[in-house]
Structure 1
């Protein structure tokens, strides 16, 4: 696959290439368990040391300089630092803390595990045995010796890494620390192997080296169709070792094409993201508008229902008030009619009583006149067998008012009179004849 034929259609491949382009070659991270005996004697994996904690191994009582690394204090002789490092000679000269062993000198951008492996070289436990066995340990020594200007330790780290470093380590470390003899063999191994570069390897190598290896592998694939394996191996070796600089120059145009494709892919991705963001905003606005319309409809329905309920309640109150007024008027009218009927009856009763009294008085007068004349005795309305009290009880009583009707009540033990105003007047002689 050539650089000009790169296509970023897969989002994951695009992200990988984007990270690869924007990243510089990375050093391998130190693994706590891989820095064997030195780190195991100082700290346990996954736990941070407490502040101002004395190092279990590199805290010598006869030391004359103190370092502070990640909260751990190191008390060591300063002579080895002054002898082998120009960086520390300048640091001790300009640092006031170096004069007082009780005041630690802080060292930034370094881990305890890295500082331990460096000190294991300066202060070994056994001179005939090397404690460091892994690529990670010697990579830490290479980094610190380069950063702190330990030239002899720098050469020692290169010599110890040469036989144990993998091809990817040779290319990455050679590019980072300027070790040119490692570059050609490392490229040749990565181009000749069957397994393509992994994502982690691409991130460590960086964009330029990754594109170079990918281009060479593509050309090798094409050449293998027509040439034998020996011819291909010889061509690759000559291509990478004898004329590496010329190969880089010839590949510049393809790398430029790859960068241009990458930039176009970046722009296309940005356009897609902008369109997606615009659509999301439009969807949000439409949803907001729909929610507002639904809320307005709901509010309108609630207002209409409330208005109808108020109107219905008002009408019911009016109907109840009208019914109450009608009932009151009917009761008043009924009471007036009852009182009028009672008054009419009383007037009629009084009139008839007066007439009865007048008639009785005339009868009494007539009877008295006859008695004076010696005529037979007469009883008006009284039987010869009735006593005066029984005759008085037989007189009609006032009616009882029941609603609008008038009931006529007769005396107890007497039959009801069809006309209370009719009084039978009997005439009897002295011997009881009627």
Structure 2
């Protein structure tokens, strides 16, 4: 068994995450405006290097890095990268977006990302249990104008139930009717509930305080 890592090794970017199945249809990185040079992730092929202290912010990686097997000096290096099975579907775009957020030192100043970048970073922060990073992203997205369908989709995928009611209320109040494609995106129960509420409001029989209550309770994540 390898001995404990030296201080020099700990200071290096020693932990690599290999992307086993990078999707060919993955969104390419988008250029976002920024106030200065932005550091880029170290990458070669399908591997990304992260400082160990960053990964230890996550319960997912902390347990892995302190285990008897993976915590050894020979693991998590460029030669022997850590390859968790559960991240095999992660894309390069998601990793790059997540890196931009975690490298935003101390979460100080303004970090400007596109909506797809924010969403991609939130997905990984949620999947990998980076609680502080996840909360930071959610707070940033609270002030971003997001299409209600995107807001609902991400709320379901990333377990952000507080986004559902405002987004559904916007759909209930929308002047134009929902399309069949939008109904499929919402799911039958939510689509039916929104249609009922919209019809009731047209007839003047739906109290304002009940708007979106019915559809928010339809297929909400538990």
TM-score range relative to shorter protein: 0.5 to 0.7
Report which of the two structures shows the higher radius of gyration computed on alpha carbons: 1
CA distance in 2 between partners of 1:118 and 1:250 (Å): 31
1:81 pairs with 2:62: no
CA RMSD of aligned residues (A): 3.5
Relative to structure 1, is the Cα distance of residues 98 and 109 closer, same or farther in structure 2, using a 3 angstrom cutoff? farther
1:187-336 to 2 correspondences below 5 Å: 187-223=168-204, 235=207, 237-240=208-211, 244=213, 247=214
1:103 pairs with 2:103: no
- Identify which of structures 1 and 2 has the higher relative contact order when contacts are C-alpha pairs closer than 8 Å and 6+ apart: 2
Q: In the alignment, what sits opposite 2:8?
A: none
2:28 to 32, 35, 46: 32
Q: In the alignment, what sits opposite 1:167?
A: 148
Shift of 1:35: 5.7
Q: In the alignment, what sits opposite 2:160?
A: 179
Q: Secondary structure at the match of 2:49?
A: strand
Which stretches in structure 2 are left out of the alignment for 5+ residues? 1-24
CA distance in 2 between partners of 1:30 and 1:98 (Å): 34
The TM-score with structure 2 as length reference comes to 0.67
Higher normalized helix content (fraction of residues): 1
1:57 to 35, 40, 56: 40
Shift of 1:155: 0.9
Shift of 1:128: 3.1
Shift of 1:79: 0.8
Shift of 1:180: 2.8
Q: Secondary structure at the match of 1:74?
A: strand
Shift of 1:135: 2.0
Relative to structure 1, is the Cα distance of residues 127 and 159 closer, same or farther in structure 2, using a 3 angstrom cutoff? closer
1:70-117 Cα distance to aligned partner (Å, 9 max, x none): x422223111110x2000112223453873312122341111111111
CA distance in 2 between partners of 1:32 and 1:128 (Å): 26
